[in-house]
Structures are given as C-alpha cells and as structure tokens.
Amino acid sequence: MLNQVVVDAINAQINAELSASYSYLAMSAYCERINFTGCARWFRIQSDEEHVHAMKLFDFLLARGAAVQLTAIGGPRNDFGSVLEVFETAYAQEQRVTAQINQLYEVAFGAKAFDTVVQMQWFVNEQVEEEKTMREVVARMAMIKDDPASMLDMDRELGARTPEAGGAEEGA
C-alpha cells in the first residue's frame, strides 16, 4: 500500500501535469492566432505530452490500488505579447514543474516508497530534457526576435516536431 502522503503528492502532480497540458494548449492557440503555425504545432504536441505525463502517474496510482483524485484545473493564460514571451513563459513553467517533481521525489524517498522513486526517476530525466529544449528555444529566439525572416525560419523548424513514438503506451 502506498503511504497516503505519497498518494496525495502524486495526485497533486497529476493536476500539475494536466495544468501544464492546458496551459500549452492555450499557447498553441495564441501562436496560431498570430500566424506562427509551426510554434502552434510544437505547443500542441507539448500539450499532448503533458497529458501523457499525467496519465503515467494516473496509471501508476491505479496499478498500486490507490485512489486517483482529480481536482479543478485553473484557467491558463491566453494572451501574450509575442511568441518569444510564450516560450519564456513555458520555460518558467517547466522550471516550476522541475521543482514539483524534485519535491515529489523527496516525499517518495522519505516515505521509502521505492516503487514511486523509480517512477519519478523517469520524470527527473524528462525535466532535464524539457528544460534544455525550452532554454535553447528561448535563447535562439531572443537573438533573432527582430528579424522576421529568421523568426519564420525558426517557426518552420519548430513546426517539424513530431510526437514522441509510443509515448502514451510506455509504462516506464
């Protein structure tokens, strides 16, 4: 049986991942509205990946016979000043998620919930990748933000993103 403190922390993380998914969906809509269709596609895929993250935790709780407790998701920010601001906001969001994941890892470790610790290792690694990706996009976009041709090239590059193979089915 999972310790209730661990179950509560995992349920809170399910909410955080779904909130991230909702927030990226709003970012996708904004990008599409200002005609950055590549960025819009990139954020839509990012939104889907956050949903996959939530479902990994959702399935883990069910596999351990624990109760999933879904709670309300706050309204996301829908308006931004530029596509660069969207990515800056996304990067800040990922940094917050990393802090939440680290906290969850600590709770699981403290409770000797080693099954959860193993699950959280996947998330710790994922956050390293997510932060790296966001940081690089923000840095490159900040360099070219006043050059429309370069921005459109970058939009095209980001639009080439493809969904991760089998993300939703991975049990890890």
Q: Interface residues with ligand FEO (CB under 6 A)?
A: 17, 20, 50, 53, 94, 97, 130
Quote the least distance from Cβ 49 to ligand FEO, whole Å.
7
Nearer to ligand FEO, 46 or 151 (CB): 46
Nearer to ligand FEO, 38 or 46 (CB): 46
Nearer to ligand FEO, 88 or 130 (CB): 130
Burial profile 39-51: b = 16 or more Cβ within 10 angstroms, e = fewer: bbbbbbbbbbbbb
Given a contact cutoff of 8 angstroms between Cβ atoms, the answer to whether 134 and 93 are in contact is no
Nearer to ligand FEO, 20 or 158 (CB): 20
Quote the least distance from Cβ 69 to ligand FEO, whole Å.
19
Quote the least distance from Cβ 126 to ligand FEO, whole Å.
6
Given a contact cutoff of 8 angstroms between Cβ atoms, the answer to whether 117 and 108 are in contact is yes
Using the structure block, give the residue that is written with the tokens 């070219």.
144
Tell me how crowded residue 84 is: count the other CB atoms within 10 A of its CB: 16
Quote the least distance from Cβ 58 to ligand FEO, whole Å.
13
Cβ partners under 8 Å of residue 168, min gap 6: 52, 55
Nearer to ligand FEO, 53 or 151 (CB): 53
Full DSSP string of 103-124: HHHHHHHHTT-HHHHHHHHHHH
Quote the least distance from Cβ 129 to ligand FEO, whole Å.
9
Instruction: State the residue number with the nearest CB to ligand FEO.
Output: 53
